[in-house]
Structure 1
Amino acid sequence: MFQIKDNVIKISVRNLVEFILKSGDLDNRRVTGRDTEAMREGSKLHRKIQKRMGSEYHPEVPLSIIIPLDFKEEEVDLLIEGRADGIIYNENKIELQDSEEDMIVLTQVGPIKSSSEKEMEGQDQIQISNKDIEVIKSNEDIDNIDDNIVDHFMFDEFEKLSSNEDEEKPNVIIDEIKGVYFDVNFLEEPIKVHKAQVMCYAYMYAVKHKLDKIGIRLTYSNIETENMKYFNETLEFVELEQWFVEVINEYKKWAAWQYQWRLQRDASIEKLEFPFEYRPGQKDLVTGVYKTIIRDKKLFIEAPTGVGKTISTIFPTLKAMGAEKTSKIFYLTAKTITRTVAEDTYRLLVAKGLRIKVVTITAKDKICVLDKPDCNPVTCERAKGHFDRVNDAVFDLLWNEHDISRELIEQYALKHMVCPFEMSLDITNWADSVICDYNYVFDPNVYLRRFFQDEKKNDYVFLIDEAHNLVERAREMYSASLFKDDILAVKKIMKPLSKNLEKRFEACNQDLLKLKRECENYKVIDNIGDFVIHLMRLLTDYEEYTKEHSNFEGSDKALEIYFDIRHFINMYEWMDDKYIIYNDYDEERGFRIKLLCMDPSNNLLTFLEKGRSTVFFSATLLPIHYYKEQLGGKEEDYAIYAPSPFDTNKRLLMIGNDVSTKYTRRNENEYVKIVNYIENLVMQRTGNYLVFFPSYSYMQQIYSLFTERDIDKSYEVILQKTNMTEMQREEFLEQFEENGTITKIGFCVLGGVFSEGIDLTNDRLIGVIIVGTGLPMVCNERELFREYYDRTKNAGFDYAYLYVGMNKVLQSAGRVIRTSDDTGVILLLDERFMNTQYKNLFPREWYPHEVVNVDKMKFGVQDFWNRT
């Protein structure tokens, strides 16, 4: 929300007005334009408008004001900064002075009657851009539009502005330009926060130049048509001053709270000590993280389970926060369990004296008060007037609570009758650390725009847990698909409702039909420009339609395809040489067109560079060059391998080299061998075991053999099911009890929910068997990856299959040794593990290991348990 440095609180004009003046309902029924990430086209139009305004128009004028705030005995200044899109000077104009960028300093607030200039020597000023244009990417190149169109609208409206002789014209007019996708003729008055923004600039300017009155103008321009509409008003300084003082007084309580909280937080960080005795190599890890943040770099950490990655990254980052190197920590995870570990780590430090506000973002569908999220005032009473009440709800919680849990958010959301999910997002503005899924930072559809939509670099630190997951997740985030049958289905929905929209959907359907006729299996495509233009026209018309028709039969399906198309267009705009476009057939949904992100590094960098520093960490980042390359690392970024703290004598690793899971060897003979391995291993000691298989079908084959064999079984087999709920997963894991009287064997799938991120410590798990090398199934997409990386890296198999598969194996093997007290066995079943390309990916702690057959394995396991 704002930054504090050297007793100066800094906030942009935009953030100030959007925060204080937000109001109204939550309403998902109307689409409000394409993704605001696509500011580029609007910025072109923005600059074009400024360029054509003539000599009376001064563009991009920075304005600032300093307001002393009375925080008991502390001398604190509030610095409000921004950049007026334009200042218009009429005949009796005030000349723009060289000192235009100087700060305006107010000696008092409420009422404000005097101003003077104050030098800010020795203070490290942060200039915050205020190019606040709410735009999305256009289907046209603005630079190629006929200039006469812009000239006509621009100067026609400017003439109107100056032609009213019955009204005394203000000498100075502050202009705010907004690029939009909707038809500007629908606007009957300026949008409230836009007007507030220009009023702030007008006040700043009027104070500096001691004006009795000043003009404001809101310039709205449609990005696609360049049609324009103006709203003009002349404000008396006395009224403007009264309004501004009310805004500042409303904001003062927030500034006061944040300032006092920061003092408490930093004082507690200064006293904070590392809560454990350092393990071997752990102190170097902590030091490495701190130095990385200080030097504005990225760090890649491969650290085996038990090293203490979470505390070793959070602790030094907090120390950097206390040294004013970062104002916010984002702890990013892929799974719920790792989020819980981060929360527990913060609680541990709080118990040691840390004062910190941490919020975890819970997914909307999990925290919503409805059975299914439907955010509008008709279906949810909390959506009605949500924005009128949410600030009070957030302040109430921040003032009265320390540990911001999900339960507390739900409690205060109920008290103030607001949406708990949206409230949690607002709390992130004030929290010191945010724990959330990757997508809240990197996904172009749901990322936290309040932190990342501006171009400026911030001092955020990103701690990315289980970073190996981010490669595949990022590829998914930055890819996009459209299915022909979905387009056709929504066309039928719209047919009786809008002939125009039916026509738009039909044009897109015909484009896909043409591509389908040319595609037998899959086909890579070079150019889809016409199709994208048709999609853009469809979006524009759909947005116009929903202004008047938000609810209609089939609207859910129509809205779903709208968002799919919007994402497709956004990703098309992001495309570079790290993408391909192809068609193929999905088994369930039919013919599709897909924008496939082959390498997500450039896209990830777009977001990573919004922060100061990033620390990637995982137990499996091998080979490190692959992850550095795919996750946006640079040559100068650091990498650390943390040694394992475990005693290798408490772990037995074996490779069964007389079996194979290759497709050509999948037969009953191989299945029987694998059953023999599993039975002979688990019969050596009563306990809990997990067996990971390459697929559900393979798992079922082995399970069938287990149930058919007529032997005295002293064990129970528990199967992972597809699409398990969170409760079902918990029930599955609860069956693995410590000190059980019967052996339990969990049959799971490699790469599934139980292959990483779960902690079955001590005797809750004493052995893991991994059947196969984890290679992904051969499919069109994997083959496209292989072809791409054969062409670009001469390593297609490694990039498309090997690295992905071995990461699953390493993660699954990591389930058995979780703490220094754990003892267990790991058995790898596939002859390919003996190949050099696989062994090169073995971590250091996998040495030594033994190559076995069934008999050798049985005696080796007996000996291991006897001596441990």
Structure 2
Amino acid sequence: MIPAPLPAERVFRGDRTFDYVYSKRMITGYDPETKTFRTGIGDLLNFGWLPESLVPSDNPLSIHARQRVHSAFARSMVRNGWEKEVSVSLDLDVMGIRFLIRGRLDLIRESDGSAEVLEIKTLDGKPDFTDPVQSRRNNSLQLYFYAKALSSARGLTPDSISASLVFLSMDNTSEPEAHYFPLDLSDEELEGSWLRHIRDTAEFLIAEDARKSIQLSALGGFHFPYDSPRPGQQQILSDVENCIENKGYLMLAAPTGTGKTAAVLTGAIRITLPRRLTLFFLTAKNTHKSIVLETLRIIIKKGVPLRGIVITARSEVCHRNRPRCLPDDCPYAVDFRDKIHESGIMKELLDHQIIGPDILMTIAERAGVCAFELGLCLATQCDIVICDYNYVFDPHVFLKRFFLEQNTAEMCALLIDEAANLPSRAIDYYSPEIRLSWIEELLEDGSCTGKREKLLHPWMERFGEWTILLENSGEDEIELPSDTDIPLQTDSWFKEITELRDPPEPLRELFKAIIDFSKISGVSDSRYHLLYRLENGDRILQWFCTDPSLFLRERLESCHNSIAFSATLTPFDHFEYLLGFPDEGRTVSRKIAWPFPKENLGVWISPVIDTRYRSRMESAALLARKICEIYSAMTGTWLVFFPSYVYLELIADHLKDSSVPLLIQTPGMSREERAGFIERIESENQLVLTVSGGVFSEGIDLRSENLLGAIIVGPSLPGMNLRMKLLSDSYRLRELDPFIHTWAIPGMVRVIQAAGRLIRNSIERKALVLIGKRFTKYPYLGLLPEHWFRDGSIQLLCGGVCGITDFLRKEKGGAKAPP
């Protein structure tokens, strides 16, 4: 299995240039009532610290080697009479703020009335500086703190304490060379730097107290972003408040149109703002992020001063439009700290209150700094962070500044939007893979050494053997025995990579995967299966995780609270387990009723057409005629959702000869193409052919007066393949019905998501037609939402479509829904 990330993995996070030291403004350990700040010296010195440059000066992958060298030197000094890892503390009062600072010095040797202190650091190569106060500010201040703490605790005078920084050169020699830099504890520049940092921190805390005071005052007069809550929203408000207040777990199933975002955000900020928690709104869709930002702006207009930021993918805010980060060749990575300080852009951006990608890029470009890294620095000073799931749950790109340490993670409140999508994403997070293309690229690299070739050739041989097995099977993917010989050679790869200052990207990816594989291979874990496949010309070996719920739970339990919400979060027991939410009564589950009149949604099932895979060719002509009949009976815009592109294209071919105007979704549409597609849906009368579970079936608001209804072709069941079989086996081991949990529930989730595009307010009146006789049978019928049943039943569409026409004509004679 893959446990919590080890230090060697940390370099593979999204914000890779802050591997070990990162800007920290998230306040933990501060009590505003007593004005007391309890903190470790490392956290204190990193508080507000910005890196001079984003270009790595050392190879960050060598952390294990650094730790070994550090420990070996300390042990050798202990043998010579030194004491290691001694805890010290210091109590200061600055500007009305009491600082209780703790730390643990590396080495100390005491005699009557005097003490020697050593702080150990490691370097790649020899020191290229003479004055650590100038070049290694934080190292010098850390040692200065130890000396001051010793002086206070032992009653020693400053001149009776000698303090030195010891830099151990790691230059591939068997015995690292130690370089000693004595620190002048009476140095005015050193003392001034210490006092400035303490005062800057105190000023920040005082300013934050003032900001929070204004927030709380405004919060007292704030009730809801809109005039009044819709039915169900008051229940959501109450449940969210109780969950955060009690550090609990909440699952909310609320139909589309309930106004989940406004209710959840309102309930959350009522508790998180007074408690100074950072609220994370997690969503995979850019459209959802826009809804959150719009809601936050309304709340701010209501008088509550909030700070919110959107953290998006690094590539989306890259000034150079690069798919991956290359800090060694990027002008936006150099002089990062100086550019920020000189431009004053952090204050400027925080004054915007809501920091979206566009404004972040514009201002970062003006200052000449990386927008992504700037956003990460700003996030710790914001009340709300809007980002993708991976920045919390992915073991390689999670935001360390928030979630690496327990004291910061417990200050984070999680809101997980469209939570039904998280389990499948988590499977990807915890299913590491190794690609043949990485190995081939490394072998073709002109800088490939003989030692590296020796490590790579066993991989080429194994990939050849596995490819023969795949070809002989006649399948697209095969399962290999769990005890398959995999040439990991983890220690050898570790030595190879730590010798490089900036390893090539394929080597980084390979090393990351080898570290992950080493934790799984040889361990008996029924959740993991070793798979081999051919994909887009590449050959891929993967440990496939069928159940990542325990990994999700580990993250959830480290945070203050967790709230999952979606229109498709039932059955609760199914999603409670997959999401890692605890049982035994610790999770509150709430189903919110549909907020609109039931008569506004007309639902029909057309049971005549068989939409099963085996019958699609035979029934295609009949299905195309039925779709044309529905469209022609009342012209407008109709959405038609198919379970796959292949099925969509089959029916599109039958419809092309008709007079019906078609708008057809295609695979791999760009962001601009998707925006244009939505614009056409909203402006033209046509039959829109799209895919269930795709980008147009969830997370979008269609503002079209001409949208009459949706036609959903069959339950959108996942395909039958090796991975789905392994997932079904995992349910069988838990004594659950494998078909229902592997295929039926996910398929019906997509159906319900697609239908959610129809009604968004109490005035709209729309028709929903479910095509396929499976909708009339178990288990599909039992998975349909309650509000689809009018008077306890759903109408069957066995003949003509006049019932649909009559239903929609009632809307035509009534009031129009607002755009």
Q: Report if TM-score (shorter chain) is over 0.5.
A: yes
Q: Which amino acid aligns with 1:844?
A: E
Q: What residue number does 1:544 align with?
A: 499
* 2: CA distance, partners of 1:528 / 1:673: 50
Contact 1:508 1:531 in 2 (8 A): yes
**1:690–1:300 Cα change, 3 Å:** same
* 2: CA distance, partners of 1:736 / 1:315: 32
How far 1:10 sits from its partner (Å)? 4.7
How far 1:562 sits from its partner (Å)? 2.2
Mean alpha-carbon deviation: is it higher for 378-387 or for 210-219? Answer: 210-219
TM-score normalised according to structure 1 size: 0.80
How far 1:570 sits from its partner (Å)? 3.3
Q: Secondary structure at the match of 1:278?
A: coil
Q: Which amino acid aligns with 1:84?
A: R
Contact 1:290 1:317 in 2 (8 A): yes
How far 1:389 sits from its partner (Å)? 2.5
Q: Secondary structure at the match of 2:445?
A: helix
TM-score normalised according to structure 2 size: 0.85
Contact 1:578 1:599 in 2 (8 A): no
**1:581–1:199 Cα change, 3 Å:** farther
Correspondences of 1:383-402 after superposition (within 5 Å):
383-391=333-341, 393-398=344-349, 400-402=351-353
Q: What residue number does 2:14 align with?
A: none
Deviations, residues 114-137 of structure 1 (Å, cap 9, x unaligned): xxxxxxxxxxxxxxxxxxxxxxxx
Counterpart check, 1:735 vs 2:650? no
Q: Which amino acid aligns with 2:766?
A: G
* 1: CA distance, partners of 2:481 / 2:103: 44
Q: What residue number does 1:602 align with?
A: 550
How far 1:603 sits from its partner (Å)? 1.4
How far 1:299 sits from its partner (Å)? 0.5
Q: Which amino acid aligns with 1:560?
A: P
Correspondences of 1:165-176 after superposition (within 5 Å):
171-175=115-119
Match 2:427 to one of 470, 475, 482: 475
Deviations, residues 744-803 of structure 1 (Å, cap 9, x unaligned): 111111111101011114625221111121111122222221222222334322332222
* 2: CA distance, partners of 1:577 / 1:44: 34
Counterpart check, 1:753 vs 2:695? yes
Contact 1:374 1:380 in 2 (8 A): no
Q: What residue number does 1:449 align with?
A: 400
* 1: CA distance, partners of 2:162 / 2:485: 47
Contact 1:654 1:827 in 2 (8 A): yes
Q: What residue number does 1:32 align with?
A: 60
Correspondences of 1:153-172 after superposition (within 5 Å):
171-172=115-116
How far 1:834 sits from its partner (Å)? 1.9
* 2: CA distance, partners of 1:363 / 1:749: 25
Deviations, residues 422-459 of structure 1 (Å, cap 9, x unaligned): 11111001111111111111112221111111244522
How far 1:229 sits from its partner (Å)? 5.9
Deviations, residues 361-380 of structure 1 (Å, cap 9, x unaligned): 13222222213256556643
Contact 2:293 2:354 in 1 (8 A): no
* 2: CA distance, partners of 1:827 / 1:515: 47
Q: Secondary structure at the match of 1:708?
A: coil
* 1: CA distance, partners of 2:551 / 2:596: 38
Correspondences of 1:526-605 after superposition (within 5 Å):
526-527=482-483, 531-534=487-490, 537-547=492-502, 558-570=504-516, 572-573=518-519, 577=525, 579-605=527-553
Counterpart check, 1:416 vs 2:367? yes
**1:786–1:229 Cα change, 3 Å:** farther
Contact 2:530 2:542 in 1 (8 A): yes
How far 1:596 sits from its partner (Å)? 1.3
The number of residue pairs the alignment matches comes to 758
* 2: CA distance, partners of 1:293 / 1:262: 18
Contact 1:480 1:567 in 2 (8 A): yes
Q: What residue number does 1:299 align with?
A: 250
Q: Secondary structure at the match of 1:640?
A: strand
Percent identical among aligned pairs is 23
Q: Which amino acid aligns with 1:32?
A: P
Q: What residue number does 1:359 align with?
A: 309
Q: What residue number does 2:7 align with?
A: none
Q: What residue number does 2:354 align with?
A: 403
Q: What residue number does 1:525 align with?
A: 481
Deviations, residues 128-153 of structure 1 (Å, cap 9, x unaligned): xxxxxxxxxxxxxxxxxxxxxxxxxx
Deviations, residues 802-842 of structure 1 (Å, cap 9, x unaligned): 22211111101111112222211111112212222122222
**1:346–1:91 Cα change, 3 Å:** same
* 1: CA distance, partners of 2:711 / 2:174: 64
Correspondences of 1:43-442 after superposition (within 5 Å):
53=78, 56-59=82-85, 61-69=87-95, 75-77=96-98, 79=99, 81-92=101-112, 171-175=115-119, 193-209=138-154, 210-212=156-158, 213-218=161-166, 230-239=178-187, 240-275=190-225, 276-324=227-275, 326-372=276-322, 375=325, 379-391=329-341, 393-398=344-349, 400-442=351-393
* 2: CA distance, partners of 1:194 / 1:824: 66
How far 1:322 sits from its partner (Å)? 3.7
Q: What residue number does 1:677 align with?
A: 626
Q: CA RMSD in A?
A: 3.3
Q: What residue number does 1:798 align with?
A: 740
Match 1:18 to one of 27, 33, 46: 46
Contact 1:482 1:565 in 2 (8 A): no
Q: What residue number does 1:458 align with?
A: 410
Contact 2:681 2:704 in 1 (8 A): no
Q: Which amino acid aligns with 1:687?
A: G
* 2: CA distance, partners of 1:528 / 1:41: 33
Q: What residue number does 2:816 align with?
A: none
**1:564–1:618 Cα change, 3 Å:** farther
* 2: CA distance, partners of 1:47 / 1:764: 74
Match 1:859 to one of 778, 802, 812: 802
Deviations, residues 712-762 of structure 1 (Å, cap 9, x unaligned): x2x411011111111111110111236x5xx31111111111010111146
Q: What residue number does 2:6 align with?
A: none
Q: Which amino acid aligns with 1:563?
A: E
Correspondences of 1:586-735 after superposition (within 5 Å):
586-635=534-583, 636-667=586-617, 669-709=618-658, 713=659, 715-735=660-680
Q: Secondary structure at the match of 2:727?
A: helix
Counterpart check, 1:810 vs 2:759? no
**1:645–1:831 Cα change, 3 Å:** same
Q: Which amino acid aligns with 2:435?
A: F
Q: Secondary structure at the match of 2:779?
A: helix
* 2: CA distance, partners of 1:853 / 1:24: 69
Q: Secondary structure at the match of 2:725?
A: helix
Deviations, residues 649-678 of structure 1 (Å, cap 9, x unaligned): 0111111112222221121x3111211221
Counterpart check, 1:765 vs 2:707? yes
Q: Which amino acid aligns with 2:452?
A: L
How far 1:530 sits from its partner (Å)? 5.4
* 1: CA distance, partners of 2:164 / 2:568: 58
**1:277–1:525 Cα change, 3 Å:** same
Q: What residue number does 2:814 align with?
A: none
Counterpart check, 1:490 vs 2:435? no
Contact 1:751 1:808 in 2 (8 A): yes
Mean alpha-carbon deviation: is it higher for 40-49 or for 785-794? Answer: 40-49
* 1: CA distance, partners of 2:86 / 2:102: 9
Q: Which amino acid aligns with 1:383?
A: A
Contact 1:305 1:619 in 2 (8 A): yes
Q: Which amino acid aligns with 1:468?
A: A
| Unpaired segments ≥5 residues, structure 1 | 70-74, 95-169, 551-557
